[in-house]
Structure 1
Amino acid sequence: MTATRRRERGDASRWVTDRYQQLADHYGASVLPTKVRSPKEKAAVESGVNVVNKRVIGYLAEDVWTTLDDLNEAIAERVHEVNHGIRRVDGTTRWERFTEEEAMLLGPLPADGFTEVEWKEAKVARNSHVTCDYQHYSVPHEHAGRLLRVRLTGSRVTVFDGQEIVCEHGRLTGRKGQYSTEAAHLPVQYRNVDGLWSRQWFLQRAQAFGPATVQVIEQLIDRRQVEAQGFLDCQNILETLGKRNKQRLEAACQQLVNAGSAPSYTGLKRLMAGIDSDQKKPTTIRPAASSRKPRFEATEDGETPAEPPSGAYVRGADYYRRLEQERGR
């Protein structure tokens, strides 16, 4: 993957890509891309590559190592000789030049190493959380309903309002649907904040479905350490599962309450699918026709079945023999 690009086709100058610029910004470095096929603009780099190729790679080309540690030790010895043992034209070594002219200009490395950065836009839900990669992070409730920018790294999640940092969380990994909630981000009383979800708001909506649904919604909220963490599950159950069929949702909640199981969106969805299948009438089963040969008894008028036929009537060999005799007459 290249670290530079051309802004326009045929343009000789090159620009640093966004991902590479993020790396430079993280370490406080400047990147000056050179033109292609222009060795004069990168003479120091080419000279350093030449030294390593001759003094390290070429010197060790014929040797054999059985472990990676032995190889790294041999390379370290050659690099130490290049930096401390070889005198330049002015009589100094590379290490002396570095310590006298460059070392004092370097800044400290950041505490965290660079990781890839991903940017997303997320709307703050009415439970004062944004959702990224199926995980939920709290945001000050004043931003509810607004679209904010979220920066995701390997270890941190940072929420921005324009250029201002709104909040920051450690990134959640593992099981989906986890919450990272700071109590200071939530309002003191949900019912006093217009437009936000609250316990009473969900319980009032659940009453339109039935008492079992109300009980399930209460259990979902009570299971959470912070009530707001259960609001999104309540919204999904009432709005998604119960939007088209209130009776089936109430029946599924009743089954869940009777079984004493912990309520969840996935469990209710599975129960509702089973109720839907049970309501479909199965096709009437027809018994297969019997192929058993009926038993005949001799009478004055001929042979008649000894028992009423059941299923298919199978003619025996006597029937066809008697039919041929009648035709011969």
Structure 2
Amino acid sequence: MATTIIGKLRNRTFFTFESLNKAIYIELNKLNNEEFQKREGSRKSVYMDEEKDFMNPLPEHPFELSEWKMATVQMNYHIQVEKMNYSTPYEYVGKRVEVKLTKDTVTVYYKKNQICQHKRLYGHRNQYSTNEAHMPKNHQLFQWNKERFMNWAATIGPSTVELINLMFSRYKVEEQAYKGCLSILKLSDKYSQARLENACKLALSRLSNPTYKNIKLILESGQDEAKQEPENAINKEDTTYAFTRGTEYYGGKK
């Protein structure tokens, strides 16, 4: 059938898919209604009389290719897939979930049961798709909240407090800041509270919006431990080896 239709259209030129599909539809109808040579009827009459009643309905939605991934629900009740963040009901924090990715949707399953679905995000990294229904009704009853992070930062130092507060100010939804804040504060376990405080202070003096990566780089490179020269030492001229001419050189008297 395909070969017959292609043969009839082979010498025609089409500039749009719409015009091509229209031509194919016309030829297909002709072919389906054409009488058989060795038996009665046509392809269409055979379908209507013998096959139609046994046909199943077509799927409601066309088939879509999908990709499956595993993810862990973070403390901010979001999962991260393909560098994007999607919320799940907060009861699933810490659980491993299955994620089905199609061109347009992200569907999350726990133990084969669908728990949520989002429109897939595209564009710059680290965007958030947050459903308010997934948020805990009382943040104080939730294991993590802004107050807890701020209290933790206060045990380290004022620069750390300033940085953590800055992290929260970047997001409309409080929980979106949890991952970054925890990553920063946990650096004190490896590098000590004193070094983390110095790194935060240094980052705030150099950058308008320091991130976890900036703080980690400062600590890894030891910039927080480098001694800073006092300003008066930088501005003061070193005259140790300067050659000083006397008043005689300029015609002055002894």
* TM-score normalised to structure 2 length: 0.72
Q: Which runs of 4+ in 1 moved over 6 A?
A: none
1:257, CA displacement in angstroms?
A: 3.8
CA separation of 1:243/1:158 partners in 2, compared to 1, >3 Å: closer, same or farther?
same
What is the CA deviation profile of residues 199-242 of structure 1, one whole-angstrom value per residue up to 9, with x for unaligned ones? 12212222233111111111211321111111011112222487
CA distance in structure 2 between the partners assigned to 1:130 and 1:106 by the alignment: 38
Select the residue among 172, 179, 182 that pairs with 1:235.
182
What is the CA deviation profile of residues 156-214 of structure 1, one whole-angstrom value per residue up to 9, with x for unaligned ones? 11121212211111112222212111222121233323xx3211221222223311111
1:76, CA displacement in angstroms?
A: 4.6
What is the CA deviation profile of residues 114-158 of structure 1, one whole-angstrom value per residue up to 9, with x for unaligned ones? 322222222222221222122221111222222222222221111
Aligned counterparts, 1:1-329, within 5 A = 51-53=1-3, 55-59=4-8, 63=11, 65=13, 67=15, 75-87=24-36, 89-100=38-49, 101-102=51-52, 105-111=55-61, 113-193=62-142, 196-240=143-187, 243-258=190-205, 261-269=208-216, 276=223, 279=226
CA separation of 1:66/1:106 partners in 2, compared to 1, >3 Å: closer, same or farther?
closer
Q: Which is higher, the Rg of structure 1 or of structure 2?
A: 1
Could you say which residue in structure 1 is the equivalent of 2:252? none
1:65, CA displacement in angstroms?
A: 3.5
Could you say which residue in structure 2 is the equivalent of 1:303? none
CA distance in structure 1 between the partners assigned to 2:131 and 2:47 by the alignment: 47
Question: Please, which moves more after superposition, 265-274 or 228-237?
Answer: 265-274
CA distance in structure 1 between the partners assigned to 2:108 and 2:26 by the alignment: 47
Could you say which residue in structure 2 is the equivalent of 1:5? none
What is the CA deviation profile of residues 232-281 of structure 1, one whole-angstrom value per residue up to 9, with x for unaligned ones? 11112222487325444323422444467134334444555676298299
Letter in 1 for 2:117: E
Long gaps (5+) in structure 1: 1-50, 282-329
CA distance in structure 1 between the partners assigned to 2:97 and 2:37 by the alignment: 55
1:98, CA displacement in angstroms?
A: 3.3
Letter in 1 for 2:41: T
What is the CA deviation profile of residues 68-93 of structure 1, one whole-angstrom value per residue up to 9, with x for unaligned ones? 66766655544333222243644222
Letter in 2 for 1:160: Y
CA separation of 1:74/1:127 partners in 2, compared to 1, >3 Å: closer, same or farther?
closer
CA distance in structure 2 between the partners assigned to 1:251 and 1:185 by the alignment: 37
CA separation of 1:141/1:107 partners in 2, compared to 1, >3 Å: closer, same or farther?
same
CA distance in structure 2 between the partners assigned to 1:240 and 1:278 by the alignment: 15
What is the CA deviation profile of residues 3-41 of structure 1, one whole-angstrom value per residue up to 9, with x for unaligned ones? xxxxxxxxxxxxxxxxxxxxxxxxxxxxxxxxxxxxxxx
CA distance in structure 2 between the partners assigned to 1:73 and 1:184 by the alignment: 47
Contact 1:56 1:79 in 2 (8 A): yes
Contact 2:199 2:224 in 1 (8 A): no
CA separation of 1:161/1:135 partners in 2, compared to 1, >3 Å: closer, same or farther?
same
Count of residues in Structure 1 that have an aligned counterpart in Structure 2? 226
Higher relative contact order (CA 8 A, sep 6+): 2
* RMSD between superposed Cα atoms in Å: 3.3
Letter in 2 for 1:137: Y
Long gaps (5+) in structure 2: 229-254
CA separation of 1:191/1:134 partners in 2, compared to 1, >3 Å: closer, same or farther?
same
SS in 1 for 2:177: helix
* TM-score normalised to structure 1 length: 0.58
